[in-house]
Structure 1
Amino acid sequence: MSAIFGIVRFDRGDADLRALDRMRQAMATRLPDGSEHIADGPAALGRGLMRVTREDRFDQQPVFDRTAGRLLVADLRIDNREELAAALDIAEPALVEMADSALLMRAFAAWGEACVDHVIGDFAFAIWDARTRRLTLARDPMGQRQLYYHLDADRITFATEVPALWAEGAPHALREGWAERRAYRELRSAPGETPFAGISGLSGGTVITVDRDGVVTSRRYWQPHADPAHLGKDIDYYIAAYRRVLEEAVACRVRRLDRPPGLVLSGGFDSGAIAGLAGPSLTTSGLRLVAASSVASAGAAAKGDARRWVELCARDMPHLDVGYVTGDGRDLLSGLEQAFENAVIGASAEYPITTALFESLATRGARLVMDGHGGDYTLNPRGDHMLAELAAQGRFRDVVREAVAHRRVTGDSWWRTVWNQLLRPSLPAPVRHGWERLKRGGRPPRPLALLRRERVDTLVAEGRLRKGGTPIVDPRDFSLRIVARLADQSDTPHGTLAASYGLEMTRPFHDRRVVELALAAPVIFQVREGRNRHLARRALADIYPREFLTRGRRNDRIAPDQMRMVRRDLPELLREAERLAATGAGRVFDLEGSRAIIAKLDTIPKGRRAITEQEQNAGTALRTLFAARYLEWFRRSNDPRNDD
């Protein structure tokens, strides 16, 4: 997880190394193993090191090719080292002691910016070519490493984290409309847009060049798509490919480590798959997999508690070292400023538990952390609306068979099964839109965070927010839409938050190879005999605990202790909502509405729907408080005298 940063001037003046030092200091948590920098006339590039892989012992950045006049800094892990070495005529003995950054420099020398089409792995890099006076910046396909930049008339500054750009004069201001996009996921940002004025980020799969006059040329070298090699196969092919591709994605992340890897283990199919597939590589290296799991406090009854499933994984996976995190002793509102300092503004309702998980992994020696995020919209979709898919293909016997099996597995009524799984998703789009409008009474979709009513009305009047909520999406397009949206994003909030604990975050289900397989596999293969995640159950039958093969559809809670924490901290939450309502944040966010929601959270509802509704309301209220706290903090950080 090397932090990279740099400055390139367009006015032919020399770069200031003191400026580079200010940028370095702003990312101190990312460079526990030292930092280096090099100046070359108008360009100065720096790298802060945190050793994660064995090859990091040989890493000496910035890499300076004096013959070609090129400087490189990179935050990367290359997975196809042997393949690249063969293409670049690098002998095996030389490759053993060659850092990934040196290998990347050789690839750039051979292919120029097209090297991104040949490299597989997580990466963000910058290359300065003194002869052509061009700067090249690039980011891996799904954006697992991040890179931001600020461009003005005289220079470009770039860095792994936004605060490094602020340290060197980039505007410290929020972009107009950031709060609205924070509240409604329907309001998508443009590719590469950040919440901060004057600061852009590279989207996943993007390479840009900046010439001597500051002109930027951008190329999207990869976008989410199905790999043609995986199209049109039978179910046995996809079962085998599932195992092969995901196993390789996990192995690439753990087989070259000097320290034990970390895993946020939720006990589900996705994180459970990572836990099991990491075993062979770790057994060879003699390392264990350090896992952290969020569970309910001892003696506390909580729906969706993953403890049982985590314990089953620990029983059958001897390489696991599991630590548990609960809500005991954790304040819902404490520690937010630490995230704000690192430009993490998208704090989720589970923020206190997420930070506790990262802390647990870091204190037990991990430097790399994985999680199962992404499985639901790549290899392991939940299989909703599968009856409609079968009906669309004319497979009516299978519709009846799977409807019966669905009821047996889920306990749903016939009406609920037929309506949710068959009729509703089969309706024409205009009818589905009308149904959504009717169901929501013409209201906008459920917000992630509450905005003041007048702001919502403005969004509706401008046509940016459609009343009636979000219509049902064809499951064939669902994965592609989500993956494309994530690849467009410039930020990785969980990655930035993990970095503040000295952790490098990587997600195997966001691996390019996994995504390209997932988008090729027909969704029709995901459900069999009423059970979803059929490919996972078949492909990993020898990896999962046997109980996984017959477990139900419902996911466990990310933070099963959350509602208990909310009820415990209710007085503090109410006071905070009231306090924030009197600040400038109260003119943007609906703190009165949040307070009204919080006031109703002290009772325990009965019934699955009521419990789900209360949890959703609690999440909305917490995210509103977090966003309002961020706005208050941001304004105060600009001017300590500004308290509104």
Structure 2
Amino acid sequence: MSAICGIVQCDRQPTAALRCAMVQAALEPYGRDAQGLWHEGPIALGSRLARLLPEDSYDQQPLVSGDGRFILIGDVRLDNRSALAEALGISASRLRSLADADVLLAAYVRWEQQSLHRLVGDFAFAVWDRQRQRLFLARDHMGRRPLFFHQGNGWFGFASMPAGLLALPEVPVAPDEERLGDLLLSLPDHSDHSYFAGIRRLLPGHSATVRFDGGFSTQRYWLPPTEERIHYDRDDDYVDAFLETLEESVRCRLRSTGGIASQISGGFDSATITSVAATLLATSGQALHAFTSVPNPTDLPSSGRLLDEGPLAAEVASLFGNVRHECLCTDDKSITTLFEQLFELYNRPAKNVINLLWDMSVAQRAAAHGATTLLTGELGNFTLSYDGRQLLNTLLREGRLSELGQQLRWQWRGRTLRGRLGVLYRMLMPSLPNSWQSILEQGLKAMNGRASLEAGVNAALLRDREWQRRIRQAGCRPNMTIMWYASRMWRQKLLLRHDFAEYGKGTLALCGVDRRDPTVDIRLIHFCQAIPEAQFNNQGVDRWLLRRALRRYWPEHLIASRVKGKQGADWQFKMKRELDALIGEVASLDNQPLAHRLLDVGALQQQLAQLGASRVDGFQALRPIAVGHFLRTAIQRSDWRAAK
């Protein structure tokens, strides 16, 4: 895992090398083991390396092709490097002494931009084409590696993180109002804005071309498929193919210079990844450190959901002799310290503050055990553990009415009248016109007493015409109601809803650990998007595919006992412990006009005051407070820079 950067002086000024070196120096937390710089007149490319793969010992970036035409820098882990090497005619013995960036360059020399359709893994890379005098940028399919850019007056710059570009005096340290608003409104991460004004981001599954005349264009090269289909003769064949794909998705992420760790909860996703990884590591006698976040028992809220996932996680961990399981309580972690780390290392505010507290703690604890790789399962709900909730609607759309009636009876079995109405609602909604969906969802939201906005967000945002336009542009409704789609389209949109790349880089800077998520492997995504919906839900059993597959790893009673826990259940304890500091954070926003445009500062103050006196739900206040801290810090940095 590396950090990369570059400067193109479109005005032909000979300052690219000096300016690129400034950006490169600011990226030091994301690559401390080596650095390299290539420059030629008005072009400069830089890299920083964190040696996290065994083959990184051979990394000599920046790389120049044999004919001198292409210069490449890449933040890359290729999960199909062996298959690429075979297609490129690279022998197995030679491959052993090549870094992933070397294989990437060979692929680009052979196929140029079409190489994107052959790559599997996490990557962001840049290639300068001397012959065509243009720069090519690309980011992996699911956006696991970040890439940001700034278009200046006569120049173009890019970097793995905003911190690199902010090292240049021409790039303002100012918060981006639109992106912060997107976060507050929980809009999908579809905007190319970063959280800093003037810094844009290349979106997942996109590439870009920069020309010397200042021309800039982007292209989408990949979407999770909705039209592919896979059919087998037997149900067991789906399980076999699924396990083969899943196991390869985990196996290819086990290349590491240090130990391997994983998150493990009381649900399916991370526990499945942990089980597969433990089995694979056992063949070479390696241990797996698995970590579960558990809440402080003080003042836990009443909830129908599991609050402490430790015992269920321990049951799975005990099945594997090489798993070293540890439960973590984050009592020693501070919310306000997290705000500062987010700005400095992650270059963004938090979406879910309490969850990020334990997520960072797990990574730091993994590093203390010598791990440099942390396996996660962030998007498993839409791949390996998809519950098949759209089965009835799929059968309805396909006109398979006899099968629909049978599956409907199974899903109705044992449900109350309210539960049966819910089944019918989910069956019909994706097929209704958008206007009908909006009316029904608005009525349901009112009936259940759900607010359109989280507490502390300025309600004027939803009345503002420009924000209404942005909300529609993001594929949402201004009344913030749920939009229903056919199954594969719905999963496609949810897979692309979040961009987690800054969290990955921030974790690397925090403790030297590389986050890797097998559930976003594009081979697994293609498989799960292509098989019949009935493989995920059958005879009233949700997650049917995964439940059958897990029989090869777990006893039946463990498969039946998995539940979705409430992560960060001790939020109230943590907030009360730092209540004075949080009140101070909100008070510091009084003289910030941008904060008042985005936030309801008075409502935040009232909510914190009530939290100190009662058990009022103050959890929703944390995201607005995190946004407030971010914008205030950015403005302070900007003022400090102007005063120098």
TM-score (structure 2 length as normaliser):
0.88
Distance 2:364 2:505 in 1: 14
Secondary structure of 1:177's partner?
helix
Label 1:469 to 1:151 Cα distance change in 2 as closer, same or farther (>3 A): closer
- Determine if contact 1:124/1:137 at 8 Å carries over to the other structure: yes
Distance 2:537 2:522 in 1: 24
Secondary structure of 1:163's partner?
helix
Q: Could you report, residue by residue, the CA deviation over 1:147-205 in whole angstroms, capped at 9, with x for unpaired residues?
A: 11112342221111111011123233333423321211347643x33233322222222
Give 5+ residue unaligned stretches, structure 2: 472-476
- Determine if contact 1:384/1:421 at 8 Å carries over to the other structure: no
In the alignment, does 2:572 pair up with 1:524? no
Amino acid at match of 1:348: N
Distance 2:228 2:467 in 1: 43
Residue of structure 1 in register with 2:292 after alignment: 293
Q: For structure 1, which segment, 59-68 or 304-313, has the greater mean C-alpha deviation from structure 2 after superposition?
A: 59-68
In the alignment, does 2:492 pair up with 1:480? yes
Residue of structure 2 in register with 1:238 after alignment: 238
Kindly state the Cα deviation for residue 388 of structure 1 after the two structures are TM-superposed: 5.4
- Determine if contact 1:386/1:421 at 8 Å carries over to the other structure: no
Residue of structure 1 in register with 2:159 after alignment: 159
Amino acid at match of 2:352: S
Residue of structure 2 in register with 1:420 after alignment: 422
Secondary structure of 1:164's partner?
helix
What pairs with 1:164-203 in structure 2 (closer than 5 Å)? 164-168=164-168, 169-186=170-187, 189-190=190-191, 192-203=192-203
- Determine if contact 2:393/2:486 at 8 Å carries over to the other structure: no
Residue of structure 2 in register with 1:357 after alignment: 362
- Determine if contact 1:180/1:187 at 8 Å carries over to the other structure: no
Kindly state the Cα deviation for residue 642 of structure 1 after the two structures are TM-superposed: 10
Distance 2:353 2:454 in 1: 10
Distance 2:226 2:467 in 1: 38
Given candidates 345, 353, 358, the residue that maps to 2:349 is 345
What pairs with 1:127-526 in structure 2 (closer than 5 Å)? 127-168=127-168, 169-186=170-187, 189-190=190-191, 192-226=192-226, 228=228, 230=230, 235-254=235-254, 256-297=255-296, 303-342=306-345, 343-350=347-354, 351-384=356-389, 386=391, 393-394=400-401, 395-404=404-413, 407=414, 414-423=416-425, 425-426=427-428, 428-429=432-433, 430-441=435-446, 446-448=452-454, 450-459=456-465, 462=468, 466=477, 468-471=479-482, 473-474=484-485, 476=487, 477-486=489-498, 489=499, 492-501=501-510, 502-526=512-536
Secondary structure of 2:496's partner?
helix
Label 1:618 to 1:446 Cα distance change in 2 as closer, same or farther (>3 A): farther
Kindly state the Cα deviation for residue 621 of structure 1 after the two structures are TM-superposed: 0.8
What pairs with 1:16-165 in structure 2 (closer than 5 Å)? 16-65=16-65, 67-165=67-165
- Determine if contact 2:298/2:570 at 8 Å carries over to the other structure: no
Q: For structure 1, which segment, 140-149 or 83-92, has the greater mean C-alpha deviation from structure 2 after superposition?
A: 83-92
Amino acid at match of 1:544: W
Amino acid at match of 1:493: E
Label 1:234 to 1:133 Cα distance change in 2 as closer, same or farther (>3 A): same
Q: For structure 1, which segment, 448-457 or 629-638, has the greater mean C-alpha deviation from structure 2 after superposition?
A: 448-457
Give 5+ residue unaligned stretches, structure 1: 408-412, 606-613
Label 1:520 to 1:86 Cα distance change in 2 as closer, same or farther (>3 A): same
- Determine if contact 1:5/1:159 at 8 Å carries over to the other structure: yes
Given candidates 541, 546, 558, the residue that maps to 1:548 is 558
Q: Could you report, residue by residue, the CA deviation over 1:204-256 in whole angstroms, capped at 9, with x for unpaired residues?
A: 222222222222233322111047362577633332222111111110000x2
Label 1:602 to 1:13 Cα distance change in 2 as closer, same or farther (>3 A): closer
What pairs with 1:534-545 in structure 2 (closer than 5 Å)? 534-544=544-554
Amino acid at match of 1:344: R
Kindly state the Cα deviation for residue 4 of structure 1 after the two structures are TM-superposed: 0.9
- Determine if contact 2:176/2:193 at 8 Å carries over to the other structure: no
Distance 2:470 2:134 in 1: 39
Kindly state the Cα deviation for residue 294 of structure 1 after the two structures are TM-superposed: 0.8
Q: Could you report, residue by residue, the CA deviation over 1:270-326 in whole angstroms, capped at 9, with x for unpaired residues?
A: 111111111243224443222222112368867432101211122012222223221
Q: Cα RMSD between the aligned structures?
A: 2.9
Residue of structure 2 in register with 1:639 after alignment: 639
Q: For structure 1, which segment, 207-216 or 74-83, has the greater mean C-alpha deviation from structure 2 after superposition?
A: 207-216
Amino acid at match of 2:515: M
Distance 1:130 1:203 in 2: 25
Distance 2:115 2:426 in 1: 47
Secondary structure of 1:597's partner?
helix
Distance 1:366 1:65 in 2: 34
Aligned length: 620
Kindly state the Cα deviation for residue 563 of structure 1 after the two structures are TM-superposed: 3.0
Q: Could you report, residue by residue, the CA deviation over 1:568-626 in whole angstroms, capped at 9, with x for unpaired residues?
A: 44454345434434544245311222233344446887xxxxxxxx7xx5332111111
Distance 1:14 1:460 in 2: 41
Residue of structure 2 in register with 1:608 after alignment: none
Secondary structure of 2:572's partner?
helix
Q: Could you report, residue by residue, the CA deviation over 1:105-134 in whole angstroms, capped at 9, with x for unpaired residues?
A: 111111112111222211111111223222
Kindly state the Cα deviation for residue 80 of structure 1 after the two structures are TM-superposed: 1.8
Distance 2:11 2:233 in 1: 57
Q: Could you report, residue by residue, the CA deviation over 1:615-638 in whole angstroms, capped at 9, with x for unpaired residues?
A: xx5332111111111111111111
Amino acid at match of 2:505: T
Secondary structure of 2:51's partner?
coil
Label 1:604 to 1:231 Cα distance change in 2 as closer, same or farther (>3 A): farther
Given candidates 602, 610, 623, the residue that maps to 1:592 is 602
- Determine if contact 2:190/2:203 at 8 Å carries over to the other structure: no
Distance 1:12 1:261 in 2: 47
Secondary structure of 2:183's partner?
helix
- Determine if contact 2:576/2:612 at 8 Å carries over to the other structure: yes
Distance 2:267 2:163 in 1: 35
Residue of structure 2 in register with 1:629 after alignment: 629
Residue of structure 2 in register with 1:580 after alignment: 589
Identical columns (%)? 27
Secondary structure of 1:559's partner?
coil
Label 1:200 to 1:468 Cα distance change in 2 as closer, same or farther (>3 A): closer
Amino acid at match of 1:499: L
Kindly state the Cα deviation for residue 50 of structure 1 after the two structures are TM-superposed: 0.9
Label 1:233 to 1:627 Cα distance change in 2 as closer, same or farther (>3 A): farther
Distance 2:556 2:568 in 1: 25
Label 1:207 to 1:388 Cα distance change in 2 as closer, same or farther (>3 A): closer
Distance 2:391 2:410 in 1: 12
Distance 1:460 1:66 in 2: 51
Kindly state the Cα deviation for residue 440 of structure 1 after the two structures are TM-superposed: 3.8
Distance 2:67 2:406 in 1: 70
